[in-house]
Every structure is written in structure tokens, then in C-alpha cells.
Structure 1
Amino acid sequence: MLEDYSKYSELNRVPVIDVPITGTNMYECVEFLTLHIDELHGEYICVSNAHTSVMAHDDPSYWACQADSLMSVPDGKPLSVVGRNTIESMGRVTGPDLMREIFSISVQQGWTHYFYGNEQKNLEALKDSLQEEYPGLKIAGMEPSVFRPLSDSEKQDLSRRLAESGADFAWIALGAPRQEVLMHELKGGPQPLMIGVGGAFNVLAGVVPEAPIWMQNLSLEWLYRLIQEPKRLFKRYLVTNTKFLFYQFTKAKRKEGK
């Protein structure tokens, strides 16, 4: 049994716009996984940001996907900034950086990895990049998304393939909310620990440029991505960012009124 599950479950969750986010940081998260990865089959981790938090706030079924995770780590800086009012050590755990941290110690730890999602050409670019950046990294499998909902039998087959691969980590890159919904549906199965990392495959593959550190530090990654893909992201960010600020403002006002 995992004795300190509670540290990363209800007792260490911070409500950000009423969505439970894990009060952790990169060091604590990696340390926890290093100590317990062998015990985490069938679990999953959400990499959460303002967009997923707003979706979870508005959709009870998606809220359950976030709440039932082993951890919902604060990828977006607004989440960690809000969370630090409750847990001072809370810090960002971004998808690309979490992957880099895990890969950098994987050879030493003997960990293997399975990658599910995205397109075949981007997976091939990711494989080339990882082999160059992390010599000796063990890749148990790479499988593109089918870009449609999976049937129950297909989900069972995927869970079995992940388990039979012998991987320690299954990186899921379907984008929100699909990846969180899938991981929630597979929870408790024989597959390895699943981590939903959205567009991180493309970042590590060099297919999509990463925001400069100064923009990340100023919580402006959304602006950088908007500049890269204005047609696709304008409406999403306009609605999401406005809702996040509104929900946080109203929550603060409720707290003041108590």
C-alpha cells in the first residue's frame, strides 16, 4: 500500500476557482514519483492550467476527472500563484518540464516510457529528439491518436497494450479534455502511471516553439501561443482568461463576505 497517498490527495489539494489542484512543485512531484512509481499502476496525473480549470468549474463530469486524479499539478502559473496563498511552496509543474525532469533520470532509474497521442510524423520527430537529448532513454512504444472517441473495447485494448509494453510511464497527449477523460476512464486498470501532457510532445520534438522564459515567468505563455495560432486560440483564450479572472474575483469576494 502507498502509505502517504493522502499527501497528494485530499489533504494537499488547493481549491483554485473551486477546482482541486495539488499543492506541489517540481521537486516534490519528481521526488514522489521516484519513490513510488512501482506502486502507481492504474493511476493518472492531470497537468492543469487556467483553461482546464475553467472547463472543470463549468462541467461537473470534467471536474470529477480532475478531482479523481492522483495529482492535478499546476502547469499554469495563475494556478500556482493562487495556490501559494494556501501552500507557500506551491510552484509550477509544466508538462514539457516534467517530462524533461523524468527523462533526465530515467536511464539511472531504469524507467521506460510509452507515448500515446498526436500524429505519427510528430512522434517520429519526438523520438529523434529524445534519443539525441537523452541517450539510452528506453522507449517502450509510440502510438498516434485515432482522433475520435474510443469504443469500450478499444479502451481495454489500449490499457492492455500499455501494460504489456512494460513501461513505467504512459505519456498521453490528446489535449484537454480528451486526455483527462480517457485517463479517468482507464483509472484502476493494469496500465502504468498515465500523465496527460497535451501539446508537450510537439514542444519536445521541436515542432512547436516554446515560450521564452521571461514570458513564462510573467504568465504570458497564453499570449505567445496566441501569436503562434491566433485563429485557433483567440476565442478560447478570450473566454477562458475572462472566466478565470471572474471566477477568482467572485470567490475572493465570497471569502471577504464571510
Structure 2
Amino acid sequence: MNSPSLYQARWTQVLRHLYTVDSEAEAAQLVDALASAGQSRMVAFVNAHAMNSVVGDFDFFKALCDADVLLRDGSGMAMLYRMLGGEAGLNMNGTDFIPRLLAAYRGRRVALWGTAEPYLSAAAARCEAEYGVEVVSRENGFHPAAHYCDQMRALRPELIVLGMGMPKQEVVAGLLRATASGAPLIVCGGAILDFLGGKVERAPRWVRRLGVEWAYRLLREPKRLFHRYVIGNPLFLLRAWRCRTAGAR
């Protein structure tokens, strides 16, 4: 395990950048503000897996701290807030929040970059049908970052949804924002395109309300998610406990 001083320092910086949303009204205001911003902005989400990942990946850590809006995602992060004596606010997971952003971009130009066919085309068709956006670009998530920068400059989408997974999408998002012409909103969406394209099924609503959607996903994809949840969750809790103990001292 990395030294306590390293991960605690990085966790502290990430937590300082997190924006907590306290009510549905505030969430709606955030959607409106992001959809009407006159400059390029980057939105990212932080869950327990992200907190584990920043410990060993400086580029990912820097990308998260450079995000314009960094949102708390998942029950693990809510637990961390409570352990440190803070208020966690609403669970702003991307799978629920990004569709709200898509709805706010009705009639506007959108790029979907991530996942693979046939799920990418299915996600694009669903976004156009349900949210009324114009999908001007859909690309798989396996190109080098320069390819997406070229696509952005050529097609000038107003909203870019990245579904490449951590940590690639956050690093790509930072490069897109730095080289943007126009004012696109760039959102790091994780598995959002897999959900929208039908590759991955959401947990039942009651499972989500209990805060254990991670367990449902693990049961559905045990091989891919074993390390993230079976190893990663206890590691996250251990680090959270050590942060709490250090804070008490």
C-alpha cells in the first residue's frame, strides 16, 4: 500500500475540489448552468474506485483536480464524508445525471465517444429519440487522444460525452478542454454509453436506493469488476478509516 502521507494528501486535494449538491433544486440549477455556460467546461465524477486510483496515478489525480465541476458518486463516498464529519449531499452519479444534461441539450449538437459497436450506435439512436439531441459524432473509446481533439475541432459539438472509463476519459477530457474551439461541455461518463446502448443493465431501483448497485454490477460482471469491488472496496474502507484516525489525532 502507498504511504499514508501520499494517499491522504491526494485524497484531501480531491475532496477539496468536490462540489456537493444538497437538493434536487440545486441539481436542476447545476444542469441549467452547465448547459448555458459560455466557455468550455469539464465535468467529472468521483467514486470509491476513483479515490483508490488517484493514489497510484498522478495524471488521473491531476485531471480530477483540474475539473471545473467534480461530483460525488456512490455510497462509498457518502460513507467517507460521514466518517470525516461532513455532509455528503445527493448522490450525483453520472448514470443518472448525464441523461439530465442530455435533456438540457435538446436540439443541440452532441458527440458520444466511448464503448464499441453495436452499443455505440444504439446509444446514439436512443439519445436522439429520447432526448432530442443531434448526434454529430460517435467514436469508439480506443483512439489516441489527438483523434478526439481533431474530431472536436472539425465537428464543433456543444456537448461531448466520454464513455472510455477511468482514467483515460479524464485525461482526454482535460486535453479537449485545453484545445477547444467554441465552448463544449465535456462530461466524463464512465459506463454511461454502455447503459444507454443496452450493453449493461441498470440495477433495479430498490437496489439503487439501498446504495448497493455496485454489488448488482459485480454479480453481472464478476470477472471484469472483481478487482474494483472485491479488492478495491475493502482497500477504500481501510484508507478511509486511516484518514479518519489521522484527522482525530
Is TM > 0.5 for Structure 1 vs Structure 2?
A: yes
User: Compared with structure 1, are the counterparts of its residues 86 and 229 closer, same or farther at alpha carbon in structure 2 (3 Å cutoff)?
Assistant: same
Instruction: Work out whether 1:188 is the aligned partner of 2:178.
Output: yes
Query: Paired residue for 1:122?
Result: 119
Q: Distance in 1 between matches of 2:226 and 2:155?
A: 39
SS of match in other structure, 1:188: helix
SS of match in other structure, 1:98: helix
Query: Paired residue for 1:91?
Result: 90
Q: Distance in 2 between matches of 1:202 and 1:58?
A: 27
SS of match in other structure, 1:210: coil
Contact 1:120 1:143 in 2 (8 A): no
Match of 2:110 among 108, 113, 132: 113
- CA shift for structure 1 position 133: 2.4
Q: Equivalent residues in 2 for 1:58-97 (5 A)?
A: 58-83=56-81, 85-87=85-87, 90-97=89-96
Q: Distance in 1 between matches of 2:52 and 2:114?
A: 23
Q: Distance in 1 between matches of 2:40 and 2:178?
A: 4
SS of match in other structure, 1:247: helix
- CA shift for structure 1 position 91: 1.2
Deviations along 1:68-103, whole A, 9 cap, x unmatched?
111221122222343364346x21112121122122
| Residues 171-180 or 121-130, more deviating | 121-130
Match of 1:46 among 26, 41, 44: 44
Q: Distance in 2 between matches of 1:245 and 1:87?
A: 18
- CA shift for structure 1 position 64: 1.0
Q: Which runs of 4+ in 1 moved over 6 A?
A: none
SS of match in other structure, 1:132: helix
Gaps of 5+ in 1: 1-14
SS of match in other structure, 1:120: coil
- CA shift for structure 1 position 27: 4.6
> Quick one: percent identity of the two aligned structures?
23
Q: Distance in 2 between matches of 1:205 and 1:176?
A: 19
Structure 1 residue identity aligned to 2:86:
T
Deviations along 1:221-246, whole A, 9 cap, x unmatched?
11111101111211221221011101
**What's the TM-score once normalised by structure 2's chain length?**
0.82
Contact 2:35 2:105 in 1 (8 A): no
Structure 2 residue identity aligned to 1:54:
N
Contact 2:149 2:175 in 1 (8 A): no
- CA shift for structure 1 position 217: 2.2
| Residues 27-36 or 246-255, more deviating | 27-36
Query: Paired residue for 1:138?
Result: 134
Query: Paired residue for 1:179?
Result: 169
Deviations along 1:157-201, whole A, 9 cap, x unmatched?
522422442322100011111111222233322152211111111
Contact 1:17 1:248 in 2 (8 A): no
Deviations along 1:121-169, whole A, 9 cap, x unmatched?
11111123223323x3222221112x26x2xxx61x5224224423221
Query: Paired residue for 2:21?
Result: 24
